[in-house]
Amino acid sequence: MVNLKQVKQQLDKIGFRLSLIGQSEINELPAILMDNENIQQLVVGRYSGGFAVLCATNLRLLLIDKKLLYLNIEDISYDMIAEVDYGHQFIGATIHICSFSKDLKFQSLKKQQLRILANFVQQKSVEARQRQTSDNTNTVRSNFAGQRDLGFTAIQSFKLNDLSDISKNWSLKNSLQNNNKNSLFSNNATLISRRRIGRYDGLPLTLKS
């Protein structure tokens, strides 16, 4: 589990300076971050619910709003982010993050930090979509290869069955022909010789002198 000391070390690594504003939200990070999760960018600012901290890690985007009797944590996965818009004014900057489940508008006086965070979130979102597209392509190719192999196997099996059926039919045909020949010879051997009977057959012969 990540502790507060590790969180502060990660913040020092990215050049974030701790102050009273956002301190309560940062104290909640040890209970939110996973063991393999590292802080990449963090900005203190405002959203529709009041003051909050926007934290971009290597795995997701976090919005943390900690009040005296109130805690709000919004978790946005990079592969769910559809659009990232950034704009700055004379005082402050605004980032608008559109995802498939929610829209988040965040404002901060730290224009440079918010711009770096916006670029990082946009890059991670593009990488997540490309990885997802690659995985889908590999899945389709794998399924196509499996169906192709299955089709070849079915064709080969069909051909073997056809050859087997042809062989069986040929053997049956030869057997029937041999039986017909033997039956014909047998009938010829048992035939009784016959002669044609005329109208004079059976009458006594008379000799004329």
pLDDT band at 134 (very low <50, low <70, confident <90, very high): confident
- What value does the mean pLDDT take over residues 4-19? 91
User: Which is higher by pLDDT, 204 or 57?
Assistant: 57
Encode pLDDT of 48-67 as tens digits: 999 999 999 999 999 999 99
User: Which is higher by pLDDT, 24 or 153?
Assistant: 24
**98 phi and psi angles, rounded to 5 deg:** -105, 120
pLDDT band at 204 (very low <50, low <70, confident <90, very high): low
pLDDT band at 172 (very low <50, low <70, confident <90, very high): low
pLDDT band at 18 (very low <50, low <70, confident <90, very high): confident
* Of residues 47, 113, 25, 122, the one with CA closest to residue 82: 122
Q: Are 116 and 41 in contact (CB under 8 A)?
A: yes
* Of residues 59, 57, 60, 63, the one with CA closest to residue 95: 63
Helices and strands (H, E) in the chain, number of each type: 4, 7
Q: Are 33 and 10 in contact (CB under 8 A)?
A: no
Q: Transcribe 176-208 into DSSP letters.
A: HHHHHHHHHHHHHHTPPP-----TTTTSPP---
Instruction: Say what the pTM is.
Output: 0.65
Q: Are 94 and 86 in contact (CB under 8 A)?
A: yes
Residue 7 has pLDDT above 80, yes or no: yes
User: What confidence score (pLDDT) does residue 44 get?
Assistant: 96
pLDDT band at 157 (very low <50, low <70, confident <90, very high): low
User: What confidence score (pLDDT) does residue 84 get?
Assistant: 94
The DSSP letter of residue 14 is T
Q: Are 34 and 61 in contact (CB under 8 A)?
A: no
User: Which is higher by pLDDT, 137 or 3?
Assistant: 3
Residue 159 has pLDDT above 60, yes or no: no
Helix (H) / strand (E) element for 126: namely helix 111-189
Which domains are assigned to the chain? 4-133 (2.30.29.30)
* Of residues 73, 74, 66, 28, the one with CA closest to residue 7: 28
Residue 4 has pLDDT above 50, yes or no: yes
Both tokens assigned to 161: 């069955």
User: What confidence score (pLDDT) does residue 209 get?
Assistant: 43
pLDDT band at 189 (very low <50, low <70, confident <90, very high): very low
- What value does the mean pLDDT take over residues 126-154? 71
Both tokens assigned to 91: 């005082």
